[in-house]
Structure 1
Amino acid sequence: MPLQNGSVTVTEFIIGGFDTTKRPIIAGMAVLITYILAVFANIVNILFIIYDKRLHKPMYLLICNLAVVDILYISSASPTMIGVLVAGVNTISYVSCFIQMFAFHLGGVMEMFALAVMAFDRLVAISYPFQYHSYLTNGRTLVLTYVLWLVACGFVAVFPATLIPLPHCHSTLKYTFCDYAAIMRTTCVDPNYYFNLVSIIIFFLSFFTFFFICLTYIGIIYFVKLSSNNDKKKMGSTCLSHLIVVTCYYCALFILVVLTRLGVERNGLLIGTIFVPSLVNPFVYCFRTKEIKYKILKIFKRS
């Protein structure tokens, strides 16, 4: 990994991913509206679950955790993109860029973990309906969630740990915000080793979580087959919301990986992997979860 000549001291990075955007204001307003909708919808879910004691159950705590993850995920990148497109502020400080990178990748890893643990919750609920509340208590759910956040932070800490010691040859990011690939391409080293290291971590996490979710649904299908028709409808209804959000996240992720390898522009695909799950997830749980949907309809009827 030989160094190139001309390393520089970087105090701020220049966001160059939108330099070829023809109508930045329109694109920025679209990002702003999507961001506001996603954050608002996730906050509504969180507030409903917090303030209604009847929803203080493992499943709703996991929905609340997913909403927190979605807010982190979309907030890690959106303000920077909005600032560049709408306000024309195309610089970000060195420290802020690394914080944004950490938050973005932490949101992506936690999205996988959150969906995996929600699949496990559905498996326990369907396999052991009478023992469910003794197996998965609120306390155990909170401890499990806390552990997953710590594990995710441990994995993501590898990203800044490998980048910070490296010298930089320029300060212009080719992408639309600070992620690992964008910062790595400003360094003076051969990036292949570092990209391979991170690719192994991401592949391991995505494959493990997706495989775990598939295994849980194999178990769910097995128990559904043994159930009566009425129970099958109830089980299908409880799993459909989770299947929708899993499909949105992993389809977007797999499309990003495949099309990027085929040479398709990465920026638009990366933005899609952030916005699609963060926007779809809260609306799915608002309209597919009976208790939350009932509360929303009740509020509209009163008004």
Structure 2
Amino acid sequence: MSPNNRTTHTVTEFLITGLDEVQHPKLVGAAILFILFLILIGSITNICVIAFNKPLHTPMYFFICSLAMVDIVYTSGISVTMLNVLLGEERRVPYAPCMIQCFLFTLGSTMEPFAIALMAYDRLIAISYPLRYQTILTNTNVCLLIIATWALGCIFASLFTGLVNNLPFCDSNKLQYSFCEYAALVRAACVNPTYYFNTISAVGTTIDYIIVAVLKIASTKGRLKTLSICSGQLIIIALYILPRMCMYLSSNTGIRFSTDLHIVIIMLHSLLPPMINLLIYCFKTKDIKQSLMKIFKR
């Protein structure tokens, strides 16, 4: 029977089944909780240190604040359900919270490359146009760039959440994933998933083109200098893109990963980049580190 001929039902809640085969759920849940705690504390500390130190009110640190906010949204958007399943042993997720989680996860997924692209753009301007840096990246222009990227992220997140919100669901409300995400909801719906996966692929390609366009602004010499300076950001991009490519191949080619491998991939592209962000932009950034040392000495 084709998906369009099946009887649909009104879904009030979803059942998370992607974590059923985890052998040590409490241990995995404790690890996720610890990582989430570190990310939240580190990101909030980053934001507060920058907000209350006027010498740090520069374009680069404003972009770091934006990235920290992305990390908070991104990690908390997926961790709540996983912790509820692994530690609270509650697999049911009501419909509305599931859609909210889908929105937050999509927003974080979209904003992470945008935030990194803004920081790369800052370095490009500093390297290629050092004398015009302060006139190009004024505080007003920086705020407009940050607002524009967040607006784009909200538009994309609303688009995908709206698509899955209108999907018809058949006789099963089981999500064979770790939390409420776009791919999981499409798979559970009574539709042909090809169109919906092609849609997200098209938007993902558009985002990639935007980032590439930003990187093409400077000269070749400037880009080579940027590569040496922005090595940390390139590492984050690699950690972000490679696991997502594995998830994309799994969704579009029918390749099924084991439950443990699926969880590892989820944690790699969702929790590892924010951890690396903290190491690079909190503990290794001289000005932030000095500000933290002053606070601890007091």
- TM-score normalised by L of structure 1: 0.88
1:135 aligns with 2:136: yes
Within a 5 Å distance, the mapping from 1:258-273 to structure 2 comes to 261=253, 263-265=256-258, 266-273=262-269
Q: Note if 1:175 corresponds to 2:177.
A: yes
User: In the TM superposition, what whole-angstrom CA distance separates every residue of 1:86-144 from its partner, at most 9, and x where no partner exists?
Assistant: 01111111011011001101101011111111111111111121221111011110111
- How far residue 259 of structure 1 moved from its aligned partner, in angstroms, is 6.6
Alignment of 1:1-303 (within 5 A): 2-169=3-170, 170-205=172-207, 207-212=208-213, 214-215=215-216, 219=219, 222-223=221-222, 238-257=229-248, 261=253, 263-265=256-258, 266-300=262-296, 302=297
Q: Out of 95-104 and 128-137, give the one that drifted further.
A: 128-137
Judge conservation of contact 1:256–1:273 (CA < 8 Å) in 2: no
2:272 is aligned with what amino acid? V
Secondary structure at the aligned position of 1:131 is classed as: helix
Q: Identity rate of aligned residues, in percent?
A: 37
Displacement after TM superposition at 1:168 (Å): 0.8
Pick which of 20-29 and 257-266 moved more.
257-266
Answer whether contact 1:252 1:272 (CA < 8 A) is retained: yes
Task: Quickly say closer, same or farther: Cα 1:254–1:210, change in 2 above 3 A.
Answer: farther
| C-alpha contact 1:112 1:209 (8 A) present in aligned 2 | no
Instruction: Extract unaligned runs of 5+ from structure 1.
Output: 226-231
Moved beyond 6 Å, runs of 4+: none
Contact (CA 8 Å) 2:127, 2:222: kept in 1 or not? yes
Amino acid at match of 1:185: R
- Structure 2 spans left out of the alignment, 5+ residues: none
Superposed displacement of residue 223, structure 1: 3.6
C-alpha contact (below 8 Å) 2:15/2:93 kept by paired residues: yes
Distance in 1 between residues matched to 2:194 and 2:64, nearest whole Å: 38
Distance 1:108 1:236 in 2: 23
Contact 1:168 1:186 in 2 (8 A): yes
TM-score, structure 2 normalization: 0.89
Bigger mean CA offset, 265-274 vs 37-46: 265-274
Aligned partners of 1:49 and 1:55 also within 8 Å: yes
Residue 290 of structure 1 and its aligned partner are, at CA, apart by: 1.1
CA distance in 1, matches of 2:278, 2:147: 21
Q: Give me the CA root mean square deviation.
A: 2.3
Distance 1:2 1:236 in 2: 48
In the alignment, residue 264 of structure 1 is paired with which amino acid?
F
Q: Check whether the contact 1:11–1:94 (CA below 8 A) recurs between aligned residues.
A: yes
Q: CA deviation at 1:164?
A: 2.1
What number of residue pairs does the alignment pair up?
Answer: 291
